């Protein structure tokens, strides 16, 4: 799991996007603790305007699967 989290952080960084005025949404499927941990790590490393943590719903639950995380920014 630690490696997956690091890959998500690297993905944000490698996007080359200026995150200062951007919002980030972390959707989770029955994994609120991991979503909050990820939020804290992202806050340390990037400057998103706002970070939202929300549960998945409908079709996004199918893509995330149980315990999954989806990022959008």
Identify the CA nearest to 72 among candidates 58, 54, 57.
54
Whether the per-residue pLDDT at 6 is higher than 90: the answer is: yes
Would you state the pLDDT for residue 29?
Answer: 93
Per-domain boundaries in the chain: 2-72
> Six-digit token pair at 2?
């630690």
What's the CATH code, domain 2-72? Answer: 3.30.1180.10
CA–CA gap between residue 48 and residue 31 (Å, rounded): 22
- Percent of residues, the chain, with pLDDT higher than 90: 77
The Cα–Cα gap between 61 and 43 comes to: 25
d(CA 26, CA 17): 17
Distances in whole angstroms, Cα of residue 49 to Cα of each of 23, 43, 57: 5, 10, 24
pLDDT in tens, 33-52: 999 999 999 999 999 999 99
Q: What is the pLDDT of residue 7?
A: 94
Per-residue confidence at 62, pLDDT binned at 50, 70, 90? confident
């Amino acid at each position: 799991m630690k490696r997956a989290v690091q890959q998500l952080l690297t993905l944000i960084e490698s996007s080359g996007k200026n995150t200062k005025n951007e919002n980030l949404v972390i959707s989770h499927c029955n994994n609120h603790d991991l979503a909050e941990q990820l939020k804290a790590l992202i806050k340390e490393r990037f400057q998103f305007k706002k970070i939202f943590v929300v549960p998945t719903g409908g079709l996004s639950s199918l893509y995330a699967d149980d315990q999954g995380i989806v990022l959008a920014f």
